[in-house]
Chains A and B, each alone.
Chain A
Amino acid sequence: MTVVALVALLLGGVWVFVAPFGIGLQAPSSPWTTATRNDLATGGALIVAALATLVAYGVLGLREMLARTTRGPEGERLGTGSPQPPADQPGVGG
């Protein structure tokens, strides 16, 4: 879900970046308008943010996976399990 959303944001950034030229809002020979410059800046920022988030997400996920693998099954249980009281816990006041 997260990766899909980040990829969608990346594609949105690419769309915003190329839209002035793809739709024909910006004539190739004329100087760039304010809208074109704004779209390039915003689209570029979106692309950078989405790419950086995707890369960080992948790297951190890989690190977590490696740490879980090297820790073994006990570490995995400690990392994901919820605290459970022992079954033979003495009663209140007993």
Chain B
Amino acid sequence: MPKRMVTMAGSVVAAMAGGWLILAPFALGYRPGGGAWDRATEVDVWSGVGVVVVALVALAATVLATVADLRGRGVLPARTRRSARSEARRTGQDQTAGPAAGPPASRAAGPPASPPTGPADSPTEAPPSPGAAGGPDLRELLVALVQALLADTPAPAGQRSPNARPPGTHPDGAGEATEGAPHGRWRQTS
């Protein structure tokens, strides 16, 4: 990490020197009368542009490497929302490019006003999976939260609906063993 800090400091100093090279002919008045650029002005300006570009490239590379290192150590979040969105878009493209890519063409030949026939019509018509929804963990967390709230909310006496279940049971038929573990990913494996 100190290595990268030194590199960043050196890059910033070099970028400032390059900026000064660009500005110096105008600031110090190399050009008599302010006419066309003379040779010294051209050399300084283009040398300054090159120095600035190289310094900024070095600075960007160092910053990117530092961010990747911090992500690897867990200091920064693993992925940004933008990268998650791009990954979700890529996942969606993979799903549509898979074996389900054929049916839309045959459906396009049918009557345009016919509604979709349901989930069995095409896998591409299915609701987006948690992995492709942009918030994969948020959906699971919300489902778990709603299930826990429903399980803990006491119904008034005499107003229990016929579908009400005793507290501590799971809606998918599981009993006390799955209490608090609404998703298979979080169940105890040992």
Contact = CB atoms under 8 A, between A and B. Distances in A.
Interface of A: 1-2, 5-6, 8-9, 12-13, 15-16, 19-20, 23, 25, 33-35, 38-39, 42, 45-46, 49-50, 52-53, 56-57, 60-61, 64, 80, 82-83, 87-88, 90-94
Nearest to B3: A60
Interface of B: 2-3, 6-7, 9-11, 13-14, 17-18, 20-21, 24-25, 28-30, 39-41, 43-44, 47, 50-51, 54-55, 57-58, 61-62, 72-74, 144, 179-181, 186-190
A50 B179 CA distance: 62
A86 B144 CA distance: 22
A8 B54 contact: yes
A9 to B, nearest CB: 5
Contact of B186 (A1, A34, A87, A92): A92
Given A9-B58, A35-B25, 17 more contacts: A2-B61, A6-B7, A23-B39, A23-B43, A25-B43, A39-B43, A42-B17, A42-B21, A42-B24, A46-B18, A46-B51, A60-B2, A64-B3, A82-B73, A83-B74, A92-B181, A93-B181
B72 A12 contact: no
Given A5-B61, A93-B180, A35 B44 contact: yes
Contacts of A33: 40
Contacts of A83: 74
Nearest to A5: B58
